A = this chain, B = another copy of it.
Amino acid sequence: MKDFQGTPGTLTGLLLRTSQCLFAAGSIASMATTSSFFRITAFCYLMASMALQVIWSFALACLDTYALARKKVLHNPILVSLFVVGDWVTAILSLAAAASSAGVVVLYTGDFGLWKGEECLKYQISVSLAFFSWIMVEISSFIMFWILAAG
């Protein structure tokens, strides 16, 4: 196992988890305040995916805080394998959700020019935050996979 910033139980690891959680929560909040997101499957999928992201990242942020407070090293191979699977699943789901919602938003704002105003802006903010959340979880996934493969 290699020990560097971003691995579980480090301050950078905790910051990554917190930012994933906050971006995903922001994405949900922005989408939930629109009046008709539930009519579009891609937006419902984005909500479900971001909810999963919030739960996963929050749980790992708590674990990182515990490890930091007790000065424990979380490099148990079984634990790291679990983190790798969880991170890759949430990363793939987040990217797919963000991209499918972006496809719909671009269709209505760019291609057809039908959506304008505050509602449209909320959709765009939600999709952007989902992409930011995905970037953060992708970084975590690479770090996890690296420590598993190099272990």
Contact = CB atoms under 8 A, between A and B. Distances in A.
Interface of A: 39-42, 92, 95-97, 99-104, 106-107, 110-111, 142, 145-146, 148-150
Main secondary structure of the interface of A (DSSP, over half): helix
A68 B146 CA distance: 28
Contact of A103 (B103, B145, B146): B103
A86 to B, nearest CB: 16
A103 B123 CA distance: 14
Nearest to A88: B142
12 contacts: A40-B107, A40-B111, A41-B107, A41-B110, A42-B106, A42-B107, A95-B95, A99-B103, A103-B103, A107-B107, A145-B146, A145-B149
Q: A-B pairs with the 7 shortest C-beta distances?
A: A100-B103, A149-B149, A99-B99, A42-B103, A103-B103, A96-B99, A99-B100
A95 B40 CA distance: 20
Contacts of A146: 145, 149
Given A99-B103, A149-B150, 11 more contacts: A40-B111, A41-B106, A42-B103, A42-B107, A95-B95, A95-B96, A100-B100, A102-B103, A145-B146, A146-B149, A148-B149
Contact of A92 (B95, B97, B101): B95
